Chains A and B, each alone.
Chain A
Amino acid sequence: MTRSQYITRIVKPAVFLALLAPFLFMGYEAATGGLSANPIEDVLHRSGLWGLRILILSLAITPLKILFGWNVLMRFRRMVGLFAFFYLVLHFFIYVGLDRFFSLGDILEDITLRPFITVGFVSLLMLVPLAVTSTKKMIKRLGSKRWQRLHRLVYPAAIGGVVHYLWAVKLDAREPTIYAVLLGILLTLRLKRVSGRK
């Protein structure tokens, strides 16, 4: 087996499973009653948390490639990005269907009146064109330059995600602050690279 085949047949499926694992574990806990006494809040929180983590992970791929020359990481970037989108769409559906029970009035009120939900919703919207244009066909159709520019939306989306989390916690801001710092570092690396190029 060539190295490339090894990556395609073994490593990629393994990474796929690893990224799917939190979802499978959530499902398992839901089925066996292992969630907390407020299960909807539980899965709402966990789906959002994993979405944010994996989104930040996707942003770490290019800096890691540049720092350590790990070009192979680029082959995983799309999968990681789409998994982030998967968890965040799940997070949104849980909110709409289980938390708000499809009550359109309540949902519209939340999106317009609660800043943390406004930020969250807008950030998710920003990821939609990215997911839609993730295929090889779409990259070809847009052309490399336009595709690159469109996918810069991931930066405000990630920032929005962290702000959404920060504004949602009641008092203990320790965890969202960690993600804010992580994201700050990754974005600074990006800026340095961009300005370095110029």
Chain B
Amino acid sequence: MLIRRPPDIATSEITNEAVYLKRREFMKAASGVAAGFALGPLLPKVLYAQDEWTPREAVTGYNNFYEFGTGKEDPARNAHTLRPRPWTISVGGEVNKPKEYGIEDILSRFPSEERVYRMRCVEAWSMVIPWLGFPLRDLLNDVEPNSKARFVAFETLYDPEQMPGQRRAVIDWPYVEGLRLDEALHPLTILSTGLYGSMLPNQNGAPIRLVVPWKYGFKSIKSIVKITLVEDMPPTSWNMMIPHEYGFYANVNPNVDHPRWSQAKERPIGKFRRIDTQMFNGYGEQVADLYAGMDLRRYY
């Protein structure tokens, strides 16, 4: 795996806000794809969370991955039955060049870089995780979404033999998720193939998963086998199971409570006290304009 380690980012290198905000107009003008491409080089390559990293033991030992059991320690215990090689990801739908990628193709074609992101679970706990990944945008550009593409749908493997938790219909398998195209093309959105400098452990969604750090963790779908560009908003698993509790957008928002519990605070795993949850998980500067004018209470 190619791992490019960029130098530390000086504050002077952070993109001028005016240029950054204009990005949206460019995207609208050129179906999003070419625009993101044009501005890409101007944006910081690595966005660091300023906080301490969550210990690796916790990152790989405390997981929600119901395909391997609904307890937090079940995935680490049970995910050994997953076979992340060989692995194929089909990328298609409203694109000019649909492709089937082997995981090795992806690793060699899209070099990974380290991305330290905050991860906020909807259950009100959080982590800071050093992912290895590349912008989803790069993969999407490779298949060339056409003008009909408005959303990106993702699908996890369905194989109860490898994923024993799928023998119980606690969720309607396979797990599915989706993003609006501009969210998918955003520089923060990555496909991750590793963490803490090595390949993704099975329980973290090997061999490839999504990471969307400004949304609740359940949006960051694991063990992806299919990515489809679509015209209409795709179904998402948690929204299908409990629609009034889990929405499509699922942006981290301390002002909009979960129907059963508050979202104002979160427990950082490894720390003792709860901390205040930040709007968009602290990535507001980079993503808030995606939702300008949107009622975030209605579109939770």
Residue picked from A41, A168, A170, most chain B C-beta under 10 Å: A170
- Complex: chain A residue closest to B55, CB-CB: A37
Tell me if A171 and B242 are in contact (CB < 8 A).
yes
Which residues of the other chain, B, contact A109 by a CB distance below 8 angstroms? Answer: 262
> Which of A38, A40, A167, A171 is the one whose CB lies under 8 Å from B70?
A171
User: When chains A and B are docked, how far (Å) is the Cα of A106 from the Cα of B257?
Assistant: 13
With A36-B73, A37-B269 already in contact, the answer to whether A114 and B261 are too (CB < 8 A) is: yes
User: When chains A and B are docked, how far (Å) is the Cα of A40 from the Cα of B62?
Assistant: 13
Chain B's interface: helix, strand, loop or mixed, by majority? loop
B38 near A: Cβ within 8 Å? Answer: no
Task: Give the total number of A-B pairs whose CB atoms are below 8 A apart.
Answer: 48
> Which of B241, B261, B267 is the one whose CB lies under 8 Å from A171?
B241
Tell me if B267 and A36 are in contact (CB < 8 A).
no
With A37-B270, A172-B170 already in contact, the answer to whether A114 and B73 are too (CB < 8 A) is: no
> Which of B242, B257, B269, B273 is the one whose CB lies under 8 Å from A38?
B269
Tell me if B267 and A170 are in contact (CB < 8 A).
no
A165 near B: Cβ within 8 Å? Answer: no
Which residues of the other chain, B, contact A167 by a CB distance below 8 angstroms? Answer: 260
Interface residues of B in 119-135 (CB under 8 A from A): 123, 125
> Which of B61, B70, B262 is the one whose CB lies under 8 Å from A37?
B61
Tell me if A114 and B262 are in contact (CB < 8 A).
yes
Interface residues of B in 153-171 (CB under 8 A from A): 170-171
B78 to chain A, nearest CB (A): 15
Interface residues of A in 118-173 (CB under 8 A from B): 167-168, 170-172
User: When chains A and B are docked, how far (Å) is the Cα of A148 from the Cα of B267?
Assistant: 44
Of the four ranges (under 10, 10 to 19, 20 to 34, 35 or more), the interface on chain A belongs to 20 to 34
Tell me if B269 and A110 are in contact (CB < 8 A).
no
Interface residues of B in 262-283 (CB under 8 A from A): 262, 265, 267, 269-270, 272-274
Which residues of the other chain, A, contact B8 by a CB distance below 8 angstroms? Answer: none
B109 near A: Cβ within 8 Å? Answer: no
Interface residues of B in 68-105 (CB under 8 A from A): 70, 72-73
Residue picked from A38, A106, A113, most chain B C-beta under 10 Å: A38
With A101-B273, A114-B261 already in contact, the answer to whether A38 and B72 are too (CB < 8 A) is: yes
Tell me if A38 and B265 are in contact (CB < 8 A).
no
User: When chains A and B are docked, how far (Å) is the Cα of A110 from the Cα of B274?
Assistant: 15
Which residues of the other chain, B, contact A37 by a CB distance below 8 angstroms? Answer: 55, 57-58, 61-62, 72, 269-270
New contact pairs (9) apart from A168-B260, A171-B171, CB-CB < 8 Å: A36-B61, A37-B58, A38-B125, A40-B267, A114-B261, A115-B260, A171-B70, A172-B66, A172-B170
Identify 21 residue pairs between A and B in the complex whose beta-carbon atoms are under 8 Å apart, listed by A's number. Answer: A36-B61, A36-B72, A37-B55, A37-B58, A37-B61, A37-B72, A37-B270, A38-B62, A38-B72, A38-B269, A40-B267, A106-B265, A109-B262, A110-B262, A113-B262, A114-B262, A115-B260, A116-B260, A171-B170, A172-B66, A172-B170
Measured CB to CB, the residues of B under 8 A from A are: 55, 57-58, 61-62, 66, 70, 72-73, 123, 125, 170-171, 241-242, 257, 260-262, 265, 267, 269-270, 272-274
Measured CB to CB, the residues of A under 8 A from B are: 36-38, 40-41, 99-101, 106, 109-110, 113-116, 167-168, 170-172
